[in-house]
């Protein structure tokens, strides 16, 4: 299967990029999203879900690489802005920060819309260190508005929940808070990779 075109992500790309990046920066939401253009009305939906899982991990790996490259540039350009002396020659992702995965070890299962909404809402509103909202009602309202903006009618999608034992992306969340990965595929050519994994 050919690679899917990336349409939008949590890191500022595409039509939802600013909204998703704002949620992370302003509220510290930890749910990460990648939206891809997927085949229209494909007969092999399972292959599309697997490709989304793989490609989302690849995109997440690229974001780690970009983060460390930008950090290194900032250290070289303005070393005085950092409290501690940083050696730029030693700065870069260690094995701990490289995202590795074995898609052949992954399992997934179809989940209904209600289960997805319940777990997504937990991942969105209750990360280990909380999000910046005045109350639970505000958190739930922002989450609900965001889901409507991103997904529209969830009944348009098949939703798969993936196991969280096949990539080091999940290690932090598997410590105790939780690790999550879903793929959502619609007949109209939208495919979402949605992940969350963090710890305190």
Phi first, then psi, for residue 116 (nearest 5°) are -60, -50
Identify the DSSP state of 82.
S
Domain that holds residue 168: 5-197
What b/e sequence results for 27-47 when a residue is b if at least 16 CB atoms lie within 10 Å of its CB, and e otherwise?
A: bebbbbbbbbebbeeeeebee
Secondary element (H or E) of residue 133: none
Cα angle, residue 118 at apex, residues 60 and 183 outer, rounded to 5°? 35
What is the per-residue pLDDT for 74?
A: 64
What is the per-residue pLDDT for 7?
A: 95
**What is the pLDDT confidence band of residue 200, given thresholds at 50, 70 and 90?**
low
Considering the chain, what percentage of its residues have pLDDT values greater than 70?
82
Minimal CA–CA distance to 184: which of 17, 51, 49, 55? 49
d(CA 117, CA 111): 10
**What is the pLDDT confidence band of residue 36, given thresholds at 50, 70 and 90?**
very high
What is the per-residue pLDDT for 177?
A: 87
Whichever domain contains 134, its CATH number is 3.40.1000
Pair of tokens at residue 103: 């898609």
The three-state DSSP-derived secondary structure of 14-75 is CCCHHHHHHHHHHHCCCCEEEEEECCCCCCCHHHHHHHHHHHHHHHHHHHHHHHHHHHHHHH
d(CA 16, CA 10): 8
Number of domain units in the chain: 1
What is the per-residue pLDDT for 56?
A: 94
Identify the DSSP state of 11.
T
Mean pLDDT (whole number) for 60-88: 69
Enumerate residues 6+ apart whose C-beta is below 8 A from 58. Answer: none
In this predicted model, what pLDDT tens digit does every residue of 76-89 receive, in sequence order? 666 666 666 666 66
What is the per-residue pLDDT for 170?
A: 86
């Amino acid at each position: 299967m050919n690679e899917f075109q990336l349409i939008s992500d949590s890191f500022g790309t595409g039509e939802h990029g600013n909204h998703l990046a704002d949620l992370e920066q302003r509220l510290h939401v930890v749910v990460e999203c990648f939206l891809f253009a997927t085949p229209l009305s494909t007969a092999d939906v399972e292959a599309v879900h697997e490709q989304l899982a793989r490609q989302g991990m690849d995109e997440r790996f690229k974001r780690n690489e970009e983060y460390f490259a930008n950090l290194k540039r900032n250290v070289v350009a303005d070393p005085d802005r950092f409290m501690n002396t940083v050696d730029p020659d030693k700065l870069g992702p260690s094995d701990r920060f490289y995202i590795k995965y074995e898609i052949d070890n992954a399992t997934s299962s179809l989940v209904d819309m209600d289960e997805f909404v319940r777990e997504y809402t937990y991942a969105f509103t209750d990360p280990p260190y909380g999000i910046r909202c005045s109350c639970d009602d505000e958190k739930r309202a922002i989450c609900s508005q965001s889901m409507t903006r991103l997904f529209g009618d969830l009944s348009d999608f098949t939703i798969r929940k993936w196991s969280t034992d096949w990539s080091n992306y999940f290690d932090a969340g598997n410590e105790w808070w939780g690790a999550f990965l879903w793929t959502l595929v619609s007949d109209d050519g939208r495919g979402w990779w949605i992940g969350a994994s963090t710890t305190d």
